[in-house]
Structure 1
Amino acid sequence: MTQSSEIVRIAAKGDGVTADGRHVPRAAPGDVLRADGTLAPGQHHMAPPCRHFGTCGGCQLQHCDEAAIARYVAERVAFAAEGQGVALGAMFAPHLSPPRSRRRCSLHAASAGGKPVIGFREAGSHRVVDMRECHILAPELFALVPALRTLLARRKGRYAVDIELTLVDQGVDCALSGLSVEGLAETEELLAFAQAHGLARLTLDHGYGPEPMWEPEPATVTLGGVPVGFPSGGFLQATADGEAALAATVREWLAGCGTVADLFAGLGTFAFALAGPAKVLAVEAARDAHLACKAAAGRAGKPVHAMHRDLFRNPLQPEELDRFDAVLLDPPRAGAREQVARLAESTVARIAYVSCNPASWARDAAQLAAAGYRLEAARPVGQFVWSTHVELASLFVR
């Protein structure tokens, strides 16, 4: 008979892992897996605050306390570096965003038995959880869910609608995809909905891109103290709190650098955070984000030069990179293999690498380490509270 075994850590996908390698769903470090397969909760096991936990795919770790999650976030980064043979210098204390702080989300709506259900999908399924509470979304976003449910309840027939909600400076930006709107009456109904709920913007996408239906004033997000036009569907760090932690960390690491290249700059999250002490080149492939960054820099008089360039197909070359005191990069989840290869050939003294995927980051880190860079520090950030999604900032020096 198998003996009792203690849960010693959390695996990448959220299962608890025993010392002998067994994976146990919804187990926390310190729990004990008894010989009969039942679980004895330990000191880090907590009662999940949300009724939907275990069904909703939005959270995986609500059964763990903050200490266990902080350790998990740090270990994801440390183990990823170790797996690629990269020596890690200082590990900064993990930063965890608080509950109800998510300022953007992708929800789904569907007709079920003639009634609308709205929420995240179930884990590993296309079924939608009819969300009646949420402990991760900012209250302004969740407050719109019952209103959307009422709006869709008037619809007849079957439908499947994707809902993007983002908290911008003017309120909630609501983007609907897959919703059929026919005739004046349905159009006026949507406009009345937007007005009644004080939306910053309402857009519809019929398969040809988002079309604004309601936008009393241009939607903006403030980055580094600069209001930047927010394209529908644009990228933001998941929480303002997490963004502030990442920005403060890279500002500290790159203090004294007079010129910085911000690669995969997006709307300018880090470019505007660094601009002032430094002159920043903000390089981005998405045209709408590039134009928004460029216009905002011009209006604010910030020393940010926006460049439109696809860094996957046309990375900055070593001779271009060598002009800068430091480089910051914040690539998509796939990482930045080609751009990192050019960085490895450069003479840039400091590289701040922000990542939303420890696995691709560690792969790129190994390439930099092989070229003589040292991974001096890393700071894990858990913006997606209670999820297995981990972000980080890291500093490489030569």
Structure 2
Amino acid sequence: MSRIVRVAARGEGVSQDGRHVAFAAPGDTLTDAGEVVPGPHRRVPPCRHFPTCGGCQLQHLDDDAYRAFVTDRITSALAAQNLSAPVREVALSPERTRRRATLHAEAKGGRVLLGFAAQKSHAIVDMAECHVLLPDIFALVAPLRGLLQRLGLKRRADVQVTMTDRGADVLIAGVAPEGLAAAEAVTAFAERHGVARLSFDDGFGPETRWEPQPVTITLGGTPVPFPPGGFLQATAEGEGALVAAVREAVGTPATTADLFAGLGTFTLALPGKVYAAEGARDAVISLKAAANTGQRPIFTEHRDLYRRPLTVTELDRFGAIVLDPPRAGARDQAEALANSRAPVIAYVSCNPSSFARDAALLVAGGWSLDWVRPVGQFRWSTHVELAARFTRPDQ
């Protein structure tokens, strides 16, 4: 007999004797024959699609065990780099709060399947319920299935849905509506279901077919033009936790650099003057327009920070640095930051492993990792996010 003591990065339970067991929870008991005896932290998964659907991996954990998993992901990644830091309480988004998702669709057996991909498979789980998506997004699943059926879906398609200020922004990739009947079906769908915008991408970039009013997303109290399929933090609660952590980390500097700024999630929430660098041109255009409309002292630059990270001389001009890179992290930028004299860094990450790697570079350069705030926006998944503060003890 062996007890399950933790959950590994990919979601398997790990026993005291080192065995990995799928869908085991901390406190479960693993018999010598490999049978799992449920323990105090196991719960009945609420969704009929679990564990087949790849949208969730950890619905069998109670909230205490899930929070422990999120924290352990971060502390384990730091430990692998011989680092440690105070880890704060996990900001866990409630059920049914995901405001963006990419679903997959395909025609099979005379009907259209629409949902998340199955675990470790390209097969599509035809979604009949969902406990992570906003109800307004889930309410579009059946109508979208019908629209794709009317459009004569022939090959696999991706459907990205994001909830904006004006309603759902829908981007369908892999379908090109052709002819009058298709155009009428698109318009009827959008009108009937109150869609804010409906766009299609058949490989040549998004083409908007319906947008009665400009679509925006409010960030930092400022409406920002939202490009089709744009990036947004997964939940409003997660965004709020990350923004609060960043603002606490940087304080009230006169000037801040927001690197990998996106649409301005942090840029528009920061005090003082802000320099915002972003590699996606449509995001830069949107952020610049929002800053101009709100008369905010924000300077935007279209800059690929992987090819051309800010130099030490450039970094030293700022009173604080905000860093929010993609999953790959920001190794080259972290190396420059390690040698800079900026007094504080707020690092936001969606990958504890790349964060810990970059943190090791900063610590080796004389920085102190003061604290880490875990954020669980992708409830019941193995995806973990965080915000952290670095300062220089010599300043």
TM-score category, normalised to shorter length: over 0.9
Give 1:152 deviation, angstroms: 2.6
In the TM superposition, 1:214-363 aligns within 5 A as 214-274=210-270, 277-363=271-357
Aligned to 2:20: 23
- Asked if structure 1 preserves the Cα contact closer than 8 Å seen for 2:78 and 2:84, the reply is yes
Q: Which runs of 5+ in 2 are unaligned?
A: none
- Asked if structure 2 preserves the Cα contact closer than 8 Å seen for 1:109 and 1:119, the reply is yes
Residue of 119, 124, 132 corresponding to 2:128: 132
Aligned to 1:117: 113
Give 1:34 deviation, angstroms: 1.3
SS of the equivalent of 1:340 reads: helix
- Asked if structure 1 preserves the Cα contact closer than 8 Å seen for 2:103 and 2:116, the reply is yes
Give 1:87 deviation, angstroms: 3.0
Q: TM-score, structure 1 length as denominator?
A: 0.97
Aligned to 2:81: 84
Aligned to 1:51: 48
Q: Which runs of 4+ in 1 moved over 6 A?
A: none
Whole-angstrom CA distance in 2 between matches of 1:157 and 1:325: 53
Give 1:65 deviation, angstroms: 0.3
- Asked if structure 2 preserves the Cα contact closer than 8 Å seen for 1:114 and 1:157, the reply is no
Is 2:185 aligned against 1:189?
Answer: yes
Residue of 143, 148, 169 corresponding to 1:152: 148
Residue of 172, 175, 182 corresponding to 1:179: 175
Give 1:139 deviation, angstroms: 0.7
Moved more, 383-392 or 181-190: 181-190
- Asked if structure 1 preserves the Cα contact closer than 8 Å seen for 2:161 and 2:168, the reply is yes
Is 2:382 aligned against 1:385?
Answer: no
Letter of the structure 1 residue corresponding to residue 234 of structure 2: A
Whole-angstrom CA distance in 1 between matches of 2:178 and 2:264: 38
Shift of the 185–335 alpha-carbon distance from structure 1 to 2, 3 Å rule, reads same
Aligned to 1:14: 11
SS of the equivalent of 2:332 reads: helix
Give 1:121 deviation, angstroms: 0.4
Residues 34-61 of structure 1, C-alpha deviation per residue, up to 9 Å, x if partnerless? 1222111111000000000010000000
Whole-angstrom CA distance in 2 between matches of 1:82 and 1:159: 45
Letter of the structure 1 residue corresponding to residue 187 of structure 2: L
Whole-angstrom CA distance in 1 between matches of 2:247 and 2:178: 50
Give 1:155 deviation, angstroms: 4.8
SS of the equivalent of 1:233 reads: coil
Whole-angstrom CA distance in 1 between matches of 2:276 and 2:67: 32
Q: TM-score, structure 2 length as denominator?
A: 0.98
Q: Which runs of 5+ in 1 are unaligned?
A: none
Is 2:39 aligned against 1:42?
Answer: yes
Is 2:202 aligned against 1:206?
Answer: yes
Whole-angstrom CA distance in 2 between matches of 1:256 and 1:112: 56
Whole-angstrom CA distance in 1 between matches of 2:79 and 2:372: 13
Whole-angstrom CA distance in 1 between matches of 2:133 and 2:253: 37
Residues 240-279 of structure 1, C-alpha deviation per residue, up to 9 Å, x if partnerless? 11000000111112113221100000000001111xx321
Give 1:302 deviation, angstroms: 1.4
SS of the equivalent of 2:105 reads: strand
Letter of the structure 2 residue corresponding to residue 279 of structure 1: K
Moved more, 303-312 or 19-28: 303-312
SS of the equivalent of 2:266 reads: helix
Residues 293-334 of structure 1, C-alpha deviation per residue, up to 9 Å, x if partnerless? 011001001122111111111111111110111100000000
Shift of the 210–155 alpha-carbon distance from structure 1 to 2, 3 Å rule, reads closer
Query: Could you say what the CA RMSD is over the residues aligned between the two structures, in angstroms?
Result: 1.0
- Asked if structure 1 preserves the Cα contact closer than 8 Å seen for 2:106 and 2:153, the reply is no
Whole-angstrom CA distance in 2 between matches of 1:353 and 1:40: 40
Whole-angstrom CA distance in 1 between matches of 2:323 and 2:383: 19
Moved more, 290-299 or 150-159: 150-159
Give 1:156 deviation, angstroms: 4.4
Letter of the structure 1 residue corresponding to residue 66 of structure 2: I
SS of the equivalent of 1:69 reads: helix
Aligned to 1:108: 104
SS of the equivalent of 1:78 reads: helix
How many aligned positions are there? 392
Aligned to 1:62: 59
Whole-angstrom CA distance in 1 between matches of 2:156 and 2:292: 41
- Asked if structure 1 preserves the Cα contact closer than 8 Å seen for 2:23 and 2:60, the reply is yes
Letter of the structure 1 residue corresponding to residue 189 of structure 2: F
Give 1:371 deviation, angstroms: 0.3
Q: How much identity, in percent, do the aligned residues show?
A: 56
